[in-house]
Amino acid sequence: MRLLLMRHGQTHANVSGQLDTAHPGLDLTALGQRQATAAAQALGESSIESIYVSSRVRTHQTAAPSAQVRRYAPTEMAGLEEIQAGDFEMLNDAESIHGYIATVTSWISGDLAVRMPGGETGHQFLERYDAAIERIVQAGHDAAMVVSHGAAIRTWTAARMLAGSVIPNPTSPLHNTALIVLEGDHRSGWRLEEWHGEPYGGAFLDDSSALDPTAVADAGQAAEQAD
């Protein structure tokens, strides 16, 4: 199966650097809407049989232009939500950003027992994200797109790559509407085909002034940006 994992477009929380993970989450900015439209145009008529989104409004808004081109509605799938910020929810100070990204980095490094303060462990995150992806695989698609969240996509991809797969450093950029393309399934494993860290519609759509803590997975860099 071909699995396309796209991060949502820019939100108002990305601009202010807030850790927005609770339901329903903030809307896309005007730039985020343009990113979503440009991503749909860049995907063109690519063979995508279904589009899945999390329960957060930003993923629905990002998927809408691609779904409109294909004339079907996205399917909301429980489990595809962002890694819960817990005690750091909607905060944007350097200490909170560092705490969130440091926890995510621990999971990417293999220490899944670490708990996000007030939130889930790495094991709990992977269990619910795995279950969502498995339901998508079981639907029998040859190709499906999932519009999800930066830290979640990065962490799951790093954890589920086949041994020997060429994968960028887990701290590589994953900006709004970035796209990761995988081939495989849960049984045989997942192979990385593409890591497009910039907005899929074009790097010119990036906002270098946005604080966006989950665009990177380096705790020091994210906290320095927030400070």
Residue 54 inside a domain? The answer is yes
**Residue 178: strand, helix, or coil:** coil
pTM: 0.94
Residue 188 inside a domain? The answer is no
Hey, what are 217's tokens? 């997975």
pLDDT in tens, 186-204: 888 899 899 999 999 998 8
**What CATH number is associated with residue 95?**
3.40.50.1240
Identify the burial level of 12 via C-beta atoms within 10 angstroms of its C-beta, where 0-12 means exposed, 13-18 middle and 19 or more buried: middle
Q: Which of 46-60, 107-121, 192-206 has the lowest mean pLDDT?
A: 192-206
pLDDT in tens, 2-23: 999 999 999 999 999 999 999 9
- pLDDT computed for residue 56 by the predictor: 98
Q: How many Cβ atoms are within 10 Å of 95's Cβ, its own excluded?
A: 12
Residue 157 inside a domain? The answer is yes
**Residue 89: strand, helix, or coil:** coil
Residue 183 inside a domain? The answer is no
- pLDDT computed for residue 218 by the predictor: 59
- pLDDT computed for residue 172 by the predictor: 78
- Whole-number average pLDDT of the chain: 92
Residue 210 inside a domain? The answer is yes
Residue 1 inside a domain? The answer is no
* pLDDT surpassing 80 at residue 32: yes
* pLDDT surpassing 80 at residue 224: no
Number of domains in the chain: 1
Residue 93 inside a domain? The answer is yes
Identify the burial level of 204 via C-beta atoms within 10 angstroms of its C-beta, where 0-12 means exposed, 13-18 middle and 19 or more buried: exposed
Instruction: State the residue range of the domain holding 43.
Output: 7-175+193-226
Mean pLDDT, residues 163-174 taken together: 68
For residue 60, name the pLDDT band (cuts at 50, 70, 90).
Answer: very high
- pLDDT computed for residue 133 by the predictor: 97
- pLDDT computed for residue 221 by the predictor: 57
Residue 70 inside a domain? The answer is yes
Decide if 122 contacts 111 (C-beta within 8 A).
yes
* pLDDT surpassing 60 at residue 219: no
